[in-house]
């Protein structure tokens, strides 16, 4: 497994892509989850009891920054075979999107736009944000292992 990671991340293009994914995703999720406030000036705040949610956001961002460049590498290696490419990238995006489940200030816009359905969806996402983030981590971990397995078998890279 570590040889596959080394193989991908020895290229500085994939390291840069990893940072380009990690930093905006982390900052975006922290803003959405109300750990970072932008008005009247930039302030971060970690309320007591929300440490687990913060840690899960960091883990989701790190896993997405690990898995997505590996899938881009996989796509570049398997250029001719479109059948073998789909699952890893889709799993990466599903896992990353599920990590953004707490609505914060966006919830009010959803409620006003969709009425009672929006209120129900916002309440569901707010009440179950920790389990949804854990599920997102699970999806990203499964995607990571399937990507590593794919790189080892389909691309004929020896560990």
Q: What are the extents of the domains in the chain?
A: 2-153
Point out the residues of the chain with pLDDT beneath 70.
1-2, 80-127, 154-159
The predicted pLDDT at position 95 comes to 52
Instruction: Write down the pLDDT at residue 103.
Output: 46
Task: Evaluate whether 98 touches 137 at the Cβ level (below 8 Å).
Answer: no
3-state secondary structure the chain: CHHHHHHHHCCHHHHHHHHHHHHHHHHHHHHHCCCEECCCCCEECCCCCCHHHHHHHHHHHHHHHHHHHHHHHHHHHCCCCCCCCHHHHHHHHHHHHHCCCCCCCHHHHHHHHHCHHHHHHHHHHHHCHHHHHHHHHHHHHHHHHHHHHHHHHCCCCCC
What pLDDT, on a 0 to 100 scale, did the predictor assign at position 87?
A: 54
Give pLDDT, residue 76.
81
């Amino acid at each position: 497994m570590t040889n596959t990671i080394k193989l991908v991340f020895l290229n500085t293009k994939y390291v840069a892509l990893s940072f380009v994914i990690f930093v905006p995703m982390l900052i975006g999720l922290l803003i959405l989850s109300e750990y970072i406030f932008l008005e009247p000036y930039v302030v971060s705040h970690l309320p007591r009891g929300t440490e687990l949610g913060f840690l899960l956001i960091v883990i989701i961002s790190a896993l997405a920054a690990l898995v997505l460049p590996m899938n881009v590498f996989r796509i570049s290696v398997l250029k001719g075979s479109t059948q073998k490419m789909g699952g890893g990238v889709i799993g990466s995006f599903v896992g990353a999107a599920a990590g953004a489940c707490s609505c914060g200030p966006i919830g009010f816009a959803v409620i006003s736009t969709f009425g009672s359905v929006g209120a129900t969806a916002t309440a569901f996402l707010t009440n179950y944000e920790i389990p949804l983030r854990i599920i997102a981590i699970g999806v990203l971990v499964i995607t990571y292992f399937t990507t590593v397995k794919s790189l080892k078998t389909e691309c004929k890279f020896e560990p």
